[in-house]
């Protein structure tokens, strides 16, 4: 599914990742932990194709990054993103926010997905009219609508209370049971309860 061999990354002259090699298999729930500045967000950006490593080999779904002719289409079809800040568009309704990200043939599934997430009644409301936990579930629906093979989540519960955090983790764990690969980068050690693989970053290296 995902494989890196001796990848390193630099921002200018500053090296932030050092010769990382790892493998993530289909259907794993991976918890990537580490202190601020450890390099976990940079690694997550590389694994999710948002950033090309400075050196080393990176494969996703058996493709080298350079072999993917249209990264935007590849991401839309194969990858879902969930972030600490939901990045919903305030002048679009909940339904419209999800429809904007959806491939045409998947738009018919929006209402069913909202119902599964327990927020169908919010479909016509706007992000500033719903709670933080509800907004994060909308963001998760947006990530799931195209039935991606992989979901990457960067601090997905950083702005949520413990109850809503548990809801998000349980929904991600349910995705894993359905065959989706999930990679969560977080300071929240509660992710350990759900993860099937744990990776820890220390000073740009995997411990």
Q: β-strand 2-11 against 55-60: which pairing, if any?
A: antiparallel
pLDDT tens for 158-173 read 777 787 788 888 889 9
Residue 87 pLDDT:
81
Is 111 a residue whose pLDDT tops 90?
A: yes
Residue 92 pLDDT:
94
27-38+69-206: CATH class: alpha beta
Q: Burial letters for 34-59: b for 16+ Cβ neighbours within 10 Å, e otherwise? A: beeebbbbbbbbbbbbebebeebebe
Is 176 a residue whose pLDDT tops 80?
A: yes
Reported confidence tier of residue 157, pLDDT bands at 50, 70, 90? confident
Residue 71 pLDDT:
85
CA–CA separation, 141 and 161 (whole Å): 19
pLDDT tens for 116-148 read 888 899 999 999 999 888 888 898 899 989 989
Residue 63 pLDDT:
78
- Residue ranges per domain, the chain? 27-38+69-206
Is 77 in a helix, a strand, or coil?
helix
CA–CA separation, 142 and 125 (whole Å): 15
pLDDT tens for 36-94 read 888 888 999 999 998 899 999 988 888 787 788 888 888 888 999 887 777 899 999 99
């Amino acid at each position: 599914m995902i494989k890196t061999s001796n990848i390193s990354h630099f921002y200018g002259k500053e090296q932030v990742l050092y010769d990382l090699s790892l493998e993530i298999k289909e259907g794993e729930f991976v918890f990537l932990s580490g202190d601020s500045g450890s390099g976990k967000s940079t690694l997550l950006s590389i694994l999710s194709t948002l950033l090309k490593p400075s050196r080393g080999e990176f494969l996703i779904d058996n493709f080298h990054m350079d072999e993917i002719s249209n990264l935007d289409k590849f991401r839309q079809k194969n990858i879902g993103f969930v972030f600490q800040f939901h990045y919903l568009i305030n002048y679009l309704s909940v339904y419209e926010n999800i429809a904007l990200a959806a491939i045409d043939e998947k738009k018919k599934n929006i209402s069913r997905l909202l119902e599964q997430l327990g927020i169908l009644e919010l479909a016509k409301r706007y992000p500033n009219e719903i709670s933080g936990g509800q907004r994060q579930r909308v963001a998760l629906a947006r990530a799931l609508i195209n039935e991606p093979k992989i979901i990457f989540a960067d601090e997905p519960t950083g702005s949520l209370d413990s109850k809503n955090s548990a809801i998000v983790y349980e929904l991600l764990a349910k995705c894993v049971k359905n065959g989706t690969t999930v990679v969560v980068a977080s300071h929240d050690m509660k992710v350990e309860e759900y993860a099937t693989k744990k990776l820890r970053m220390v000073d740009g290296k995997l411990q």
